[in-house]
Structure 1
Amino acid sequence: MAKIAIIGEGAKVTRFGLTGAIVLPAEEPEAVRAAWRSLGTDVAIVVLTSRAARSLDGETSSWPLTVVMPP
């Protein structure tokens, strides 16, 4: 079964754990990149905070599907 992962600042992503998503709190750019690299092949959708998305600028691929939360 495909999974959803949420990456970004802890205050913005922690609550998504209640939905069953994989929550990867990451405050600093290197932590965001490490979280991205840690994603398993079973992750189909990644939701990023806007700050996390800026940290990954140009490093994401077409899979998994990636969306950015509004600021």
Structure 2
Amino acid sequence: MGRIAVLGEDARVRGFALAGALVRPADGPREVAEAWNTLPADVRVVILTPRAAEHLKSAHLEHERLTVVMPP
């Protein structure tokens, strides 16, 4: 079974930890890329904030993980 990770600005992602998600706060482009590249292999679904999605290139999103973007 895979895990869910939530990646983006701290204020928008921290509450997901209460639901058991792996939370990766990341604000700038470098932090977002590092958080994405270091996600554990068992993460199957990634929820991104809109800003985090903007920081990632489309090549990052082409992966075997299901990736969704939160509404603004």
TM-score, with normalisation over the residues of structure 1? 0.95
The answer for unaligned runs of 5 or more in structure 2 is none
Counterpart amino acid of 1:20? Answer: G
Q: Of Structure 1 and Structure 2, which has the larger fraction of its residues in helix?
A: 2
The answer for unaligned runs of 5 or more in structure 1 is none
Instruction: Give runs of ≥4 in structure 1 deviating > 2 Å.
Output: none
TM-score, with normalisation over the residues of structure 2? 0.94
Any residues of structure 2 matched to 1:3-42 within 5 Å, and which? 3-42=3-42
Say if 2:58 is the partner of 1:64: no
CA–CA distance in 1 between the matches of 2:31 and 2:64?
20
CA–CA distance in 2 between the matches of 1:62 and 1:30?
19
Task: Give the 3-state SS of the residue equivalent to 1:53 in structure 2.
Answer: helix
Counterpart amino acid of 1:16? Answer: F
